Amino acid sequence: MQKKNLTKKLFIVMMLTQYFLFSGCSVSQQSGLYSLPFLDNSESRSISAENLNGEKGKGGMAIPNPSEPKPAASARAADDLGQGWKVKPFLRINKGETVTLMDVDGPGIIRHIWMVEGLSRNHVLRFYWDNELSPSIEVPVPDFFAIGNETFARVNSQAIVVNPANALNCFWSMPFKKHVKITITNEGQKDLQLLAFQISYSLTSLPKNTAYFHAQWRRAKTGTENPYIILDGVKGKGRYIGTFLSWTQSTDNNWFGEGEIKFFMDGDDKFPTICGTGTEDYILGSYGFPESFTTAYSGTTLPSKDSDKLPNFWSLYRWHIMDPICFKTDLKVTIQALGWFNNGKYRKLDDDIASVAYWYQTEPHTPFPTFPSPEQRVPVKKTK
């Protein structure tokens, strides 16, 4: 019996060793239930308005300041309680202001980001890895968290979770070797009086083959850009890991989801290496979207209502967590805006699409296209 148990234990150890060697990461770089029993030298840290530098033993040290000229909302709630009693849980970001949310030396891994309150496409996140000058992430806050058209919808996936009421959570793993800087800019015409946020991370060693997280936002009318370009100009080695589509049917309320997604990689020219079979197929659905769904790896969370009226809104996500698209030198991703005629023919559509592409790659990365102005980011409004 003892020999049998020993053999079983050795088999488990061997399988775990093979897994971690194959994945290129030690246990300390893994996340999820399977890694919890394995202790290492990682140090947990968290940044919020109560500890802006994430320093050890420095949380909740703010002292009430009744004379503060432009405080965040609820800033005076703890004046009678004193230091240590939720004195500064929120930030205020005035119009035109850029606030640094994280400015930390590595090596480490961002594990979780949480944000809440009245965030719109006027509020832009930018991430800079290892003191780079060009951001690796440049996305309006709602779209980064799979919120389309600035309209709340629940998301219950492995990478992104959105809970009532408008609680935004990101679980993408984001390693940094030397440094990370995260900013948020208020490009709107109103002050953001309350930003609640928390960024949880670990200080830990990283293997040499670690890639960096990237996310890019785009928008276009498919009347002039069809196929729609989700991502282009990527140079380097990496993995494409997710797509979010904020899709607006602007001129036609019939079925829109026949277009193929295409991945051009590693020198592909006219034709791609990977070609999908339809938009609803890519979102892991079939025969249209008869109802909303939100799952670990895909979902349509904002089904159109009053479909006899225009515009119609859709929020679609697809995470390539179990099936990443691996590329060695370059990557371009497109999707067709293609509908269906009642006579059995496909037809090109004039729709409004905004998207976020998520991927890992080696640095340095190619600088992103010029970020659209606030006016170019305003969602289409629902007519009454």
Burial of 251 (0-12, 13-18, 19+ CB in 10 A): middle
Q: How far apart are CA 282 and CA 288, in angstroms?
A: 11
Q: How far apart are CA 356 and CA 353, in angstroms?
A: 10
What per-residue confidence (pLDDT) applies to 2? Answer: 57
What per-residue confidence (pLDDT) applies to 342? Answer: 75
Considering only CA atoms, which of 10, 24, 79, 3 is closest in space to residue 210? 24
Tokens of 65: 């300041």
- Where among 146, 179, 205 does a domain terminate? 205
Domain that holds residue 33: 1-40
Q: Are 263 and 274 in contact (CB under 8 A)?
A: yes
Examine the domain organization and report whether 191 and 259 are in the same domain.
no
CA angle 298, 185, 67 (to 5 degrees): 125
Examine the domain organization and report whether 72 and 166 are in the same domain.
yes
CATH number at 314 reads 2.60.120.1390
What per-residue confidence (pLDDT) applies to 32? Answer: 75
Domain membership flag for residue 380: no
pTM for the complete prediction? 0.91
Examine the domain organization and report whether 226 and 187 are in the same domain.
no
For 23, the 3-state DSSP assignment is: helix
Domain membership flag for residue 382: no
Q: Are 92 and 139 in contact (CB under 8 A)?
A: no
Examine the domain organization and report whether 58 and 173 are in the same domain.
yes
Examine the domain organization and report whether 192 and 86 are in the same domain.
yes
Q: In the chain, count of helices (H) and strands (E)?
A: 4, 25
pLDDT averaged per 10 residues, the chain (length 384): 56 48 49 82 95 95 91 89 93 97 98 93 98 97 96 96 95 98 97 96 96 98 97 98 96 91 98 97 94 96 72 95 98 96 88 98 96 96 70
| Structural domain count of the chain | 3
Q: How far apart are CA 346 and CA 369, in angstroms?
A: 32
The DSSP symbol for 142 reads: H
Q: Are 112 and 364 in contact (CB under 8 A)?
A: no
Examine the domain organization and report whether 228 and 345 are in the same domain.
yes
Q: CA 170 → CA 111, 167, 192, 323, 369, distances in Å? A: 8, 10, 21, 19, 24
Q: CA 204 → CA 43, 94, 127, distances in Å? A: 7, 35, 19
What per-residue confidence (pLDDT) applies to 61? Answer: 94
Domain membership flag for residue 158: yes
Examine the domain organization and report whether 313 and 296 are in the same domain.
yes
Torsion of CA 37, 40, 41, 46, to 10 degrees: -30
Examine the domain organization and report whether 184 and 312 are in the same domain.
no
What per-residue confidence (pLDDT) applies to 126? Answer: 98
Examine the domain organization and report whether 177 and 47 are in the same domain.
yes
Domain membership flag for residue 379: no
What per-residue confidence (pLDDT) applies to 316? Answer: 98
CA angle 245, 296, 290 (to 5 degrees): 60
Domain membership flag for residue 376: no
Q: CA 147 → CA 152, 235, 354, 372, distances in Å? A: 6, 28, 11, 18
What per-residue confidence (pLDDT) applies to 125? Answer: 98
Q: How far apart are CA 302 and CA 324, in angstroms?
A: 25
Domain membership flag for residue 11: yes
- Where among 179, 205, 231 does a domain terminate? 205
Examine the domain organization and report whether 168 and 297 are in the same domain.
no
